Chains A and B, each alone.
Chain A
Amino acid sequence: MSRSINLKKGFNIRLEGCATEILSETTDHILYGVKPIDFPGLIPKLEVRQGDEVLAGTPLFHDKIHPEIKFTSPVSGKVVRIERGERRKILEVVVERSGNGFVDFGKADPAKLSSERIKEVLLNSGAWPAVRQRPYHVIADPRDNPKSVFIPGFDTAPLAPDFNFIIGNYPSSFLSTGISVLSKLTNGKVNLILNGKGSSGRLLENLPGVEISYFSGPHPAGNVGVHIHHIDPLNKGEIVWFVNLQDLIMIGRLFEEGVYRPERIVALTGSEVIHPQYYRTLSGTAVSSLVAGNLKPGNLRIISGNVLTGTKIDSNGYLGFYDSQLSVIPEGNYYEFFGWASPGIDKFSFSHTFLSSLFPERNFRLDTNLHGGERAFVVTGQYEKVMPMDIFPMQLLKAIMAEDIDMMENLGIYEVAEEDFALCEFICPSKIEIQSVVRKGLDLMRKEMS
């Protein structure tokens, strides 16, 4: 019996520039970057040097704490650059593509493999980082035995790609192979979460080996944290793993074809994109080749991911490991004459303090302006309206700020991640960097508990 959960709390940020269902198959991109900063808490240890030849699946670096977790090259070619930042922190390892060579990890039917062997293949190929865990929203520890696995089957973030369109462009067997891989990793259920509003397509509805639940409501109804909270909530000491849909396909391909090929169908979205559409490419691709000739002029911000949780990247940056979306919006570095006093036909807000709230269907062209300065907490009762979980957001944030470990635990820090607080951050009239606060709390808890 599938469950159906209808969420009322939340908010959809209505932006211009939704991708149309056109898929461009250009795969002739040259540069690919693998970025340690895509993985919170990771301390990378390099395995290659500049100039080394690599194959698709050759390790570029590994996790210092868990050396078995490897991060491999998405393509064959040459390591052309190792970009470093402050204190020689590794920012990205860049591979220039040439040829089609790959490391052969061997075709196998996951149903016939032991879970140890499956973990080995995932770890060696570089597919393991696709398996993440709650609490802390980080790469899963291969030694753990999660109580269940979650696959979020839709995305409600602003301008999010349509997963039904995406999976329709892959061989369907990859999905079911991926599922049988995941079912070997847990003694519990493999949960697939589908959109309760609108059809999810035959393919997903009829996948064998999964427990399907339907969620509907405004963003963040598609967030995995919300799914876990309502279906199999995390208590202290418990662990749940989750995998993105496109990563599941990548895992399925790994076992069916024996290759590590982190293919991504990416939605190029946002008000500053001339023709928002989908592109088939690989994880880590240089965005410059994707967006070339398709951007409006002006001072732009390119974001790998969505506007709420994505990462700001340069125009010569690279697509993030987990991202299926690129968002391009205008920068907001301008002064606005009495901006706070304007009637606000063009101003987008969760509150009804601007005239724009009279047009509930309109899409907006939002920029990166902060619209004010940072202040102490003043207004209350706002965060709760966009938090569809039984969590007290403001009290939890204050506990994190005070570094009160017991209180953080009592108020449910294990159940949340920064993405679950993204809307709180968006609506916060005091302009507090809430997602950073939450990440700080998660890192602190992780350190305390290990």
Chain B
Amino acid sequence: MNSLRKKLDKLKPLFSKGGKFAKLQSVFEGFESFIFVPDKVTFKGSHVRDATDLKRTMTIVIIALLPALLFGSYNTGLQHFKSVGVNPDLFQAFWFGFLKILPLIIVSYVVGLGIEFIVAQIRGHEINEGYLVTGLLIPLIMPVDIPLWMLALAVAFSVILGKEVFGGTGMNIFNPALLARAFLFFSYPAWMTGDKVWTEGLTAGKNIIDGFSGATPLSLCAAGEITKLPSFMQMFIGTIPGSVGETSALAILIGAAILIITGIGSWKIMAGVFAGGLAMGLLLNAISVNTFMELPFYYHFVMGGFAFGAVFMATDPVTGSQTEKGKWIYGFLIGILSILIRVVNPAYPEGVMLAILLMNIFAPLIDYFVVQSNIKKRLKRAKVAINNVVK
């Protein structure tokens, strides 16, 4: 560790201004500050600082994502073996799935971070940590069979057009991970919808046993085949077809607990989404003109990407509402829209993605009204004060 430090100190001048590799300064800094927290000290303002930085913040989100990732690996294997009629043991299923997901993660990070590094260097900025989380979120909301080139294209699209053109991390309007998914959803719908893409090998159609459909609970509902739905418990645990990381409400709940206890994720947004989903679910239950509307409201929480979206996507601090009151409203509306799109619009069985992207647009408007109410209060107070003086 000391010798590593010495080597870095030796290399540093080469990458500094005027050095041989000055063009790679941001990249060097990025790696250096990844390995060593810098020796920078405070020079004005508060002399001591909180030990938390963005790296730590992002690390916590990644840790919170691990249960979903690990379960997703297992489930990917499980669904595959089910489709070929084999009953795998736990490790076998996990390892199979892990090897399938790993390339997705690698492609996502290599393409995304590569672009971040280049842009940081062009701007002369330090490399921002934002993509560390996005890079893991993207594979988790993809069907496992997505071709890698498509994934790379989606990542490039979302990082360049979704984030960098707006000024980089902290400035983007849309959640970059969802943008990548939406890009594929509308550009290559055949690879993002239907019954076959969710299970490894199903699109190729090798050795599939009869009777295995690979349909997700949501597409079963959309098709009106409610009776074929897996049990609530099965969907809660997550042994169902779906995007890599979204199937297990249980794993996502563990992640939510980590985010809330550490104070990194906004519990207000999460609670808002579930409250909105609950309200809309109950309303649909009350109307119930078709079988999908009759579905007990709590089923919605464990189906599709609802839980994953609520915990990991809606809580993105950059694209979500930034005021505390606004977070409740923002979350609530996402919950309502998710279920509404899901049930009422059969063309988009997954409503969460579109609901969050739509609310990303409205988040600044919500904040505007919340901030205006504070401004009005202040103006009113000033008026009262003036009137008192006049009296």
Contact = CB atoms under 8 A, between A and B. Distances in A.
Interface stretch (B17-25, B46-54, B96-104, B236-244): B46-54
A359 interface: no
Contacts of B382: 235-236
Interface string B350-381: 00000000000000000100010011011101
B291 interface: no
12 contacts: A332-B42, A349-B50, A351-B264, A353-B60, A367-B48, A370-B42, A370-B49, A375-B129, A379-B264, A410-B375, A411-B375, A425-B45
A426 B37 contact: no
Interface stretch (B73-81, B163-171, B220-228): B163-171
B42 A368 contact: yes
B40 A378 contact: no
A382 B322 CA distance: 10
Given A337-B36, A376-B168, A381-B327, 10 more contacts: A238-B385, A309-B46, A329-B48, A333-B39, A369-B37, A369-B41, A373-B38, A376-B128, A378-B54, A381-B322
B48 A350 contact: no
A333 B36 CA distance: 12
A41 interface: no
B266 A375 contact: no
A353 B377 CA distance: 36
Contacts of A429: 50, 52-54, 56-57
Interface in B317-354: 317-318, 320, 322-324, 327
Q: Give me the 5 closest cross-chain CB pairs, A-B, nearest first.
A: A372-B53, A376-B170, A339-B37, A347-B51, A235-B382
B374 A353 contact: no
A170 interface: no
Contacts of A433: 44-45
Given A353-B56, A381-B317, A390-B377, A435 B50 contact: no
Contact of A353 (B52, B318, B386): B52
A394 B326 CA distance: 14
A412 B378 contact: yes
Given A235-B385, A308-B47, A341-B59, A380 B53 contact: no
Given A340-B56, A378-B318, A394-B322, A435 B44 contact: yes
A236 B375 CA distance: 13
B85 interface: no
Contact of B381 (A233, A303, A378): A233
Contacts of A340: 37, 53, 55-56, 59
A310 interface: yes
Contacts of A435: 44-46
A339 B374 CA distance: 40
A160 B192 CA distance: 60
Contacts of A369: 37, 39-42, 49
Nearest to A332: B41
Interface in A387-417: 390-392, 394-395, 410-412
Contact of A370 (B38, B318, B386): B38
Contacts of B45: 418, 422, 425, 433-436
A384 B371 CA distance: 13
A411 B374 contact: yes
B203 interface: no
B1 interface: yes
Chain A interface mostly helix, strand, loop or mixed?
A: loop
B263 interface: yes
A428 B130 contact: no
A377 B169 CA distance: 9
A371 interface: yes
A308 B49 CA distance: 9
A398 to B, nearest CB: 10
Nearest to B45: A435
B48 A307 contact: yes
B35 interface: yes
Interface of B: 1, 4-5, 33, 35-57, 59-60, 126, 128-130, 167-171, 261-264, 266, 268, 317-318, 320, 322-324, 327, 367, 371, 374-375, 377-379, 381-382, 385-386
A312 interface: yes
Nearest to B323: A392
Contacts of B322: 380-381, 394-395
B43 A312 contact: yes
Interface in A336-363: 336-341, 344, 347-354
A370 to B, nearest CB: 4
A325 to B, nearest CB: 13
B324 A384 contact: yes
A426 B43 contact: no
Contacts of B264: 351, 353, 379
B37 A353 contact: no
Interface in A42-69: none
A427 interface: yes
B36 A336 contact: yes
A377 B50 CA distance: 16
A368 B37 CA distance: 13
A374 B150 CA distance: 34
Contacts of A344: 51
A348 B47 contact: no
A158 B171 CA distance: 34
A335 B5 contact: yes
Contacts of B50: 348-351, 371, 426-429
A366 interface: yes
A70 interface: no
Contacts of A184: none
A236 B60 CA distance: 43
B51 A354 contact: yes
Contacts of A338: 35-37
A410 B378 contact: yes
A274 B224 CA distance: 76
B276 to A, nearest CB: 19
Max count, chain A CB within 10 A of own CB: residue among B44, B45, B55, B382 = B45
B52 A335 contact: no
A301 interface: yes
Interface in A108-151: none
B53 A373 contact: yes
Contacts of A172: none
Contact of B53 (A307, A309, A371, A381): A371
Contacts of B320: 380
B385 A337 contact: no
A24 interface: no
Given A380-B317, A395-B371, A334 B53 contact: no
A310 B47 contact: yes
Max count, chain A CB within 10 A of own CB: residue among B40, B42, B50, B378 = B50
Contacts of B46: 307-309, 422, 425-426, 435
B44 A301 contact: no
Contacts of B170: 375-378, 430
Nearest to B128: A375
Contacts of A352: 261-263
B60 to A, nearest CB: 5
A271 to B, nearest CB: 11
Nearest to B5: A335
A431 interface: yes
Max count, chain B CB within 10 A of own CB: residue among A236, A333, A336, A381 = A381
B355 to A, nearest CB: 20
B317 A378 contact: yes
